[in-house]
């Protein structure tokens, strides 16, 4: 590999909590065992190609502030330089995974065929870099939102030719993801929604989206792609309303189209916030519905109403999120992807290293706290206790459908039932939670 922006950085190593070295890990000790698995195996950390190597600091009011040598240049040579820098950053960070959109890794061509050839060509280079470094692909995805052809949606476009173009794009991107050993495939419907209902037929668009997803699932099985297909919920932005609003909404959608056993979710902290939820709410909901897949770990800004995609830094929130992941038995083929970008004024390559070191360390520290919550067992014991009545004979009969409404009414009358309120103990539980972080 040639010189890159990150050649001057030594691999970041674990130095322990007392370290004052800003380019060392204080918590991420990748071989440390937590609940029987190493930190690396639990977290399955991934760098997001788009934020780290494509985003250039533009905002609706300002020109790019972040300049990298490959930016502003199309074609394979620039793509190769970008890939070399990317894999060099992965070396510095020691992360096991990365994630990309087709358009992040190489520019679009003048025709569909040319775009496909571009992706095939860079995929060969990515495969070589993966072999050399041992870094793997957590998930691939297709960008079905940036090009003007998608301004009215991809699968939900009123024009079936756009649907077809998007479907062909996903087919090829899934082929490439499989070729690269990708462990999941993500669909984020950035433009699958509407800006105004006045020009939108919701019923049709949902059916289109259901058909699209069924095509992808059928194809995945035909080619023997072993990874999970993941939908990434987000309520809005760029459109006013997106159909994949949140975990519960996507579950309803999957049920309607018979895909609930086939598709899981990639949940993002900032998207949860935009939907008016907490990250742990989305994780616990997905886990309860059996569709927890993977996480985009980032954070929003409580004072801003958009997707700021900042690196996570809140220990309590992340610990609670990981607690619900551990409670659900982990993420399977999923992992923790840093869907986060540098702030506009953070223009140095070193800023990218600091950002990831902080994010990785936070996840590691949060994992330790979440592991302690599980091991200690007091949160779970309290919860069990609260619902203990449902494990008794009458509770089981009620839930098991063994009682009619008349029988229940007769029993309540006969026993002259008068249930007594019991404390929910919220303050006790919140204090307990604080004791782990």
What the block records as the tokens of 237 is 């932005």
For the bound state, the minimum distance from the C-beta of residue 102 to ligand XUL, rounded and expressed in Å, comes to 11
Among 81, 192, 268, 317, binds ligand XUL (CB under 6 A): 268
Of 9 and 150, which CB lies nearer to ligand XUL in the complex structure? 150
Of 21 and 58, which CB lies nearer to ligand XUL in the complex structure? 58
Binding partner of residue 246 among ligand XUL, Co ion, none, CB cut-off 5 to 8 Å per kind: none
Detail the DSSP E strand segments found in 357-401. Answer: none
Phi/psi at 173 (5° precision):
-65, -35
CB 236 within 8 A of CB 274: yes
Phi/psi at 292 (5° precision):
-75, 125
Q: Residue written as tokens 């330790």?
A: 368
For the bound state, the minimum distance from the C-beta of residue 271 to ligand XUL, rounded and expressed in Å, comes to 6
Of 187 and 254, which CB lies nearer to Co ion in the complex structure? 187
- Omega of the bond prior to 280 within 30 degrees of 0, cis? no
Measured on CA atoms in the order 348, 350, 353, 359, is the torsion positive or negative?
negative
Of 84 and 339, which CB lies nearer to Co ion in the complex structure? 339
If binding is defined by CB under 6 A, does position 296 make contact with ligand XUL?
yes
- Closest C-alpha among 258, 282, 174, 254 to residue 219: 174
Q: How far apart are CA 235 and CA 318, in angstroms?
A: 21
- Closest C-alpha among 335, 338, 330, 379 to residue 356: 338
Total of residues contacting ligand XUL (CB under 6 A)? 10
Binding partner of residue 183 among Co ion, ligand XUL, none, CB cut-off 5 to 8 Å per kind: none
- Omega of the bond prior to 238 within 30 degrees of 0, cis? yes
Phi/psi at 226 (5° precision):
-85, -15
Phi/psi at 153 (5° precision):
105, 170
CB 57 within 8 A of CB 47: no
Measured on CA atoms in the order 314, 367, 97, 95, is the torsion positive or negative?
positive
Binding partner of residue 141 among Co ion, ligand XUL, none, CB cut-off 5 to 8 Å per kind: ligand XUL
If binding is defined by CB under 6 A, does position 323 make contact with ligand XUL?
no
Residues in the chain: 437
Q: How far apart are CA 5 and CA 81, in angstroms?
A: 10
Q: Which of 42, 51, 101, 281 is catalytic?
A: 101
For the bound state, the minimum distance from the C-beta of residue 297 to ligand XUL, rounded and expressed in Å, comes to 11
Binding to ligand XUL (CB under 6 A) within 345-384 occurs at none
For the bound state, the minimum distance from the C-beta of residue 169 to ligand XUL, rounded and expressed in Å, comes to 13
For the bound state, the minimum distance from the C-beta of residue 116 to ligand XUL, rounded and expressed in Å, comes to 19
- Closest C-alpha among 364, 354, 337 to residue 89: 354
Catalytic residue check, 356: no
DSSP 392: S
Binding to ligand XUL (CB under 6 A) within 82-101 occurs at 101
Catalytic residue check, 411: no
Q: Which of 29, 88, 104, 339 is catalytic?
A: 104
Binding to ligand XUL (CB under 6 A) within 105-144 occurs at 141
- Closest C-alpha among 253, 247, 317, 324 to residue 289: 247
CB 264 within 8 A of CB 229: yes
Binding mask 227-246 for ligand XUL (x = CB under 6 A): -----x-x------------
Binding partner of residue 234 among ligand XUL, Co ion, none, CB cut-off 5 to 8 Å per kind: ligand XUL
If binding is defined by CB under 6 A, does position 188 make contact with ligand XUL?
yes
For the bound state, the minimum distance from the C-beta of residue 309 to ligand XUL, rounded and expressed in Å, comes to 7
Binding partner of residue 365 among Co ion, ligand XUL, none, CB cut-off 5 to 8 Å per kind: none
For the bound state, the minimum distance from the C-beta of residue 339 to ligand XUL, rounded and expressed in Å, comes to 5
Binding mask 6-45 for ligand XUL (x = CB under 6 A): ----------------------------------------
Note the residues at the interface with ligand XUL (CB under 6 A): 101, 141, 186, 188, 232, 234, 268, 296, 307, 339
Q: Report the catalytic residues.
A: 101, 104
């Amino acid at each position: 590999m040639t010189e890159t922006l990150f050649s001057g950085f030594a691999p970041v190593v674990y130095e322990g909590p007392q370290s004052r070295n800003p380019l060392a890990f204080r918590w991420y000790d990748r071989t440390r065992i937590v609940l029987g698995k190493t930190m690396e195996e639990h977290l399955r950390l991934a760098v997001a190609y788009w934020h780290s190597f494509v985003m250039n600091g533009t905002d609706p009011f300002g020109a790019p502030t972040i300049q990298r040598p490959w930016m502003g240049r199309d074609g394979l040579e620039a793509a190769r330089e970008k890939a070399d820098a990317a894999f060099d950053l992965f070396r510095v960070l020691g992360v096991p995974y990365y994630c990309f959109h087709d358009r992040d890794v190489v520019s679009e061509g003048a025709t569909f065929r040319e775009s496909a050839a571009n992706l095939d060509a860079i995929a060969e280079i990515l495969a070589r870099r993966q072999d050399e470094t041992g870094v793997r692909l957590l998930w691939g995805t297709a960008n079905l939102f940036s090009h003007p052809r998608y301004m009215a949606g991809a699968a939900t476009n009123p024009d079936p030719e756009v649907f077809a173009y998007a479907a062909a794009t996903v087919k090829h991107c899934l082929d490439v993801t499989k070729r690269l050993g990708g462990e999941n495939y993500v669909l984020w419907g950035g433009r699958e929604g509407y800006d105004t209902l006045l020009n939108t037929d919701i019923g049709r668009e949902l059916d289109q989206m259901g058909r699209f997803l069924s095509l992808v699932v059928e194809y995945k099985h035909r080619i023997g792609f072993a990874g999970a297909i993941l939908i990434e919920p987000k309520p809005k932005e760029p459109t006013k309303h997106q159909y994949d609003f949140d975990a519960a909404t996507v579950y309803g959608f999957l049920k309607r189209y018979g895909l609930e056993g086939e598709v899981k979710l990639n949940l993002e902290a900032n998207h949860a916030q935009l939907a008016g939820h907490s990250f742990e709410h989305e994780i616990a909901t997905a886990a309860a519905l059996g569709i927890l897949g993977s996480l985009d770990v980032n954070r929003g800004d409580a004072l801003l109403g958009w997707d700021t995609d900042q690196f996570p830094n809140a220990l309590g929130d992340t610990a609670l999120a990981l607690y619900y992941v551990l409670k659900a038995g982990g993420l399977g083929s999923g992992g923790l992807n840093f869907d986060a970008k540098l702030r506009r004024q953070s223009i140095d390559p070193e800023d990218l290293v600091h950002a990831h070191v902080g994010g990785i360390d936070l996840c590691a520290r949060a994992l330790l706290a979440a592991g302690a919550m599980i091991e200690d067992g007091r949160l779970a014991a309290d919860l069990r206790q609260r619902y203990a009545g449902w494990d008794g004979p009458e509770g089981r009969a009620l839930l098991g459908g063994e009682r009619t409404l008349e029988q229940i009414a007769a029993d309540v009358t006969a026993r002259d039932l008068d249930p007594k309120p019991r404390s929910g103990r919220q303050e006790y539980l919140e204090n307990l939670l604080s004791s782990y972080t």
